[in-house]
Chains A and B, each alone.
Chain A
Amino acid sequence: MTVETKDIDFTADDFTFAQQGEKLIDKNYKASSYAKDVWANFRKNKGAVFGAVVIIVIIVMAIIGPMISGHTYKSIIIQHADLPPRIPGLEKLGIFNGVEKGVNVYQKKGFSDIYYWFGTDTQGRDLFTRVWQGTRISLLIALSAVLIDIFIGMVYGLISGYFGGKVDMVMQRIAEILNGIPTLVVVTLLGLILPQGIASVIFALMITGWIGMEHIARAQVLKLKESEYILASKTLGAKDFAIIFKDILPNIFGQLIIMSMFSVPNAIFTESFLSFVGLGIQPPMASLGSLISEGYKSLTVYPYMITSAIIVLALLMLSFNLFADGLRDAFDPKMKRM
């Protein structure tokens, strides 16, 4: 019996039974770490954190920007037209000092006390206010896209996927037909009946913008439909709609929210494109797209009129993409580990 027990101090009753005859109750369970895992994964992804931060900054600026600038987005002051950007404080560093082609335009025109942080457009409207006003529109579009995705797309896909058979076939054919209509055509037609502006853009999204989400929701439902816990709900007598919304939906909701985040850049760009083409937002209202459209006309002469809108638009789209990507990876770490 070779044993190294010399260094253990044994007491007299060490070798007596500890629990003879007692009934053992199973109290085991693992501590829940799912939320911690997700948060840790998300934090590790620098791109995702960057995206999240930028989105928050842009939202804050969109809210307070128009309030702090001291100008409104639509007041036309012809004398102030075509002024380059000038920011107090930074102008001492040699940038944003109102200089254009070597000439300080503000000085030349005698506006030593007036500041336009992003400059003005051809009608003398403050670009800073207009950019953030336009961002508000873009964010509103983003929100509508997500809501439409959820309320129309998700529900449509859930019902189509769950019931299958003829219901599924009919619903999918309808979706395919709708998907085939180009957005441009829809918006143009809507523009004839509805007042120009943001309403027709949102309507257009309501007609076709949810189809991507619908496909994904349907695919997820098909995946889960035969799961044993769904079968268990059926054997317990749960009604179909209860199963869809209480059993299946909570299990796919996270994935679907992330998917809808991916559709945000597309929605924002669609609005920008439509406004650029002249079908969406009309002046004096501003959206990032319409600003780009207006600034485009003076691109070679006054490039600053377009740059701020472009930068904000690009940042907005990029950060939504990064954020959604990071969320998806955080929730699904199995994909990364190989």
Chain B
Amino acid sequence: MTQSEARTPLLHVEHLKQYFRITRKYTTKAVDDISFDIYPGETYGLVGESGSGKTTTGRSIIRLYDPTEGKIIFDGHDIGARKLSKEDEAYLRTNMQMIFQDPMACLNPRKKVKEIIAQGLEIHHLYKDQADLDNKVNTILEKVGLSREHATRYPHQFSGGQRQRIGIARALIMNPKLVIADEAISALDVSIQAQVVNLMKDLQDELGTTYLFIAHDLAMVKYISDRIGVMHLGHIVETGTTDEIFSDPIHPYTKSLLSAIPHPNPIVEKKRVAMTYDKDKEGVDYTKGIIHNVSPTHYVLATDEEFAKWSQQKGY
């Protein structure tokens, strides 16, 4: 039992399913039975491509959607139930926050920056008076690297990176226990991504926030995550610590993701050919797979034969 196992998870997700009914005959199974835990103070990276269900997972946890099935326990509160109690709802809304993907769309164009940032505090009356509110807004603005004058401006006056920082300020002013970053850096230039990721790490060091970092860029995820879960078509196919995933990936999908990471080294990159993985060609059915342990923290979703075969193939 490693140290992480002995602690209680901050977020416990068990057999989560999120289905969307499109027509009477067809239901999309965006998230199809996933389970994972996130421990306090760590960053869990949930990685996958488009259609993997990672964004849906984040939105189900924060109750933007009502989960079809499954258990979600957040800091002892059951937030997976059909109807939330008033107490659980208030706890969820003040202690779990989300940072969104599109910096151009995540801020209300008609509101000033300080109204946007202070929205959460105002809804839940978490301030003493106007001066206290202004003070809190200014403090968080400086923490995210913007200046006080920005508080009275409108979102369209800022660049993408600056807007994303305003989004972070809006989430973190509530001092939440868990922040879900839903592709928070995907829409930014690479050089700005580094800024935002550094900021998130600094804030985590200072405030002890836990992150669920949803992304499709494994290289960035490596920087910020302690543990990683790889999602494909609604299932978590592999999960482990960052080290384990990068040095000893088992599932072929994980390997294909890793091999797709470009190296900023022209000599190597020009010669490299990426590995492909076609689920149907390989005959893999995720619903038949069961959890196999490679180590106490490293799991793979596979049938017994698949697991035996894939464990033999080292490297990508």
A: residues with CB less than 8 A from B are: 25-32, 34, 227-229, 231-238, 242, 247, 250-251
Contact = CB atoms under 8 A, between A and B. Distances in A.
A90 B97 CA distance: 75
A28 B162 contact: yes
B165 to A, nearest CB: 9
Contacts of B62: 235
Q: Which of A25, A229, A237, A250 has the most chain B CB within a 10 Å cutoff?
A: A229
A243 to B, nearest CB: 10
Interface string B112-126: 000010011001100
Contacts of A231: 59, 64, 98, 100
Given A27-B147, A28-B162, A233 B119 contact: yes
Nearest to B147: A27
Contacts of A234: 64
Interface of B: 59, 62, 64, 89-90, 93-94, 96-98, 100-102, 105-111, 116, 119-120, 123-124, 145-147, 149-150, 153-154, 156-159, 162, 167, 170, 174
13 contacts: A26-B145, A28-B162, A30-B156, A30-B157, A34-B156, A231-B98, A235-B64, A235-B98, A236-B119, A236-B123, A237-B120, A247-B108, A250-B108
Contact of B154 (A26, A32, A247): A32
B156 to A, nearest CB: 7
B110 A250 contact: yes
A260 to B, nearest CB: 19
B149 to A, nearest CB: 7
B50 to A, nearest CB: 17
B98 A238 contact: no
Contact of B158 (A25, A29, A237, A247): A29
Contacts of B96: 235
Contact of A26 (B101, B146, B153, B174): B146
Nearest to B155: A229
B158 to A, nearest CB: 6
A34 B110 CA distance: 12
A250 B111 CA distance: 9
A228 B166 CA distance: 14
A92 B62 CA distance: 81
Contact of A236 (B109, B120, B153, B154): B120
Q: Which of A232, A233, A250 has the most chain B CB within a 10 Å cutoff?
A: A232
B105 A237 contact: no
A236 B147 CA distance: 24
A217 to B, nearest CB: 16
B223 to A, nearest CB: 22
B106 A228 contact: yes
Contacts of A32: 153-154, 156-157
B110 A237 contact: no
A220 to B, nearest CB: 14
B123 to A, nearest CB: 5
The 8 closest A-B pairs by CB, nearest first: A237-B93, A228-B106, A250-B110, A228-B100, A236-B120, A229-B108, A228-B105, A30-B157
Q: Which of A29, A231, A242, A250 has the most chain B CB within a 10 Å cutoff?
A: A29
Contact of A30 (B89, B90, B100, B158): B158
Given A28-B162, A229-B107, A238 B123 contact: yes
B119 A26 contact: no
A148 to B, nearest CB: 25
Contacts of A247: 108
Contacts of A26: 145-147, 162
B98 to A, nearest CB: 5
Q: Which of B89, B96, B119, B174 has the most chain A CB within a 10 Å cutoff?
A: B119
Contacts of B64: 231, 234-235
Given A25-B147, A26-B145, A228 B94 contact: no
Contacts of A235: 62, 64, 93, 96-98
Given A32-B153, A32-B154, A228 B123 contact: no
Nearest to A31: B157
Given A25-B145, A26-B146, A251-B108, A237 B153 contact: no
Contact of B157 (A27, A29, A238): A29
Nearest to A231: B64
Nearest to A25: B147
Given A234-B64, A237-B120, A237-B124, A28 B97 contact: no
Contacts of B101: 228
Nearest to B103: A228
Given A34-B156, A227-B105, A238-B123, 18 more contacts: A25-B145, A27-B147, A28-B159, A29-B149, A29-B153, A30-B156, A30-B157, A30-B158, A228-B105, A229-B105, A231-B59, A231-B100, A232-B119, A232-B167, A237-B124, A242-B123, A247-B108, A250-B108
A238 B102 CA distance: 21
Given A32-B157, A251-B110, A232 B100 contact: yes
Contacts of A31: 157
Contacts of B89: 237
A231 B120 CA distance: 13
B237 to A, nearest CB: 28
A314 to B, nearest CB: 37
B162 A27 contact: no
A27 B149 contact: yes
Contacts of A229: 105-108, 116
Contacts of B124: 237
A169 B116 CA distance: 33
